[in-house]
Structure 1
Amino acid sequence: MCPKSRQTRVHVVNPGARLKLYDTSQALAHIAGKALPTLRDEGLHPDDLLNDKEAGDVLGIDASTVRAYAATGYLDSGTQRHGRTWWPRHAVEARREAGDQRQYNPGPQPGNPRNRVPRPRHDPRISEIADLTRRSQATSTEIAQRYQVSTRTAQKLLAAAHRHSTS
């Protein structure tokens, strides 16, 4: 029993290492003061959940790289349990067996300047505004109301129309 509370808990047997999870029979044996029964060691199971450090050990990379791989979709995003992200062993081993495929991405890469929509070379409103100014004196307020733009944008359109009509 803990001196300050009436709760009983299993003490950490491996400080600094991965948190050990105990089954019911082990916890009850500890509370009763008996030796902990050993669990069957069935080896590595494909459904074992690995934290970022353990997944990094399997992949041969740092834990921060595992998190970056998950964020970019290069590795399965994992599952959230108890405030931490865990990756199934089979997903991590599949990533390891697939080899390095970061250079292959069938879609457009985020941030690539080639993905931008090309800006129009010529704004069709400029020709219309140039025709308006030839016929009558158009003000930026009239242009702003007609095209539903700000006054500053209307001023820029008028300046572009003036350059267009003089060239």
Structure 2
Amino acid sequence: MNPNSGQDGEHGEDVLLTAEQAADILGIGASTLRAYAARGEAPSGRKIGRKRRWTLREIEHHRDHPPSANPARTGRPPGARDTRRRRPTARGSLAARRAAELAGRLADGDTVTTEQIMSTYGVTERTAQRLLKRARSSG
């Protein structure tokens, strides 16, 4: 049986396809096919050794009869991270507001230490150092 032939095997069994071959038939990427299969949105295929293979029959059936769109499943899949950069709100970022407050205290002649910032804002030492540096550079 030749998986690239596109024909049924000698004994009527279905042709086995790699993820790349199956994805090409569906018009998607191989990693997308694997993700859809893991979520149950595409045929799961069969494990042969350490490799997963799909039958030509199940891929063609999925292509010709796609699952109906589920209105409850819109947007990113569960667990996906939003990598877009966020714009600061109209009031500015929390760090900017805290740095401005610290800059005001420094301008009034107060001595502000990293330890005070850590206890006041509940931040790590590194964050406190960054806030103090930002306050000193803006004031």
**Please, what TM-score do these two structures have when normalized by structure 1?**
0.43
Q: Kindly name which structure, 1 or 2, has the bigger radius of gyration based on alpha carbons.
A: 1
Relative contact order higher in (CA < 8 Å, ≥ 6 apart): 2
**Please, what TM-score do these two structures have when normalized by structure 2?**
0.49
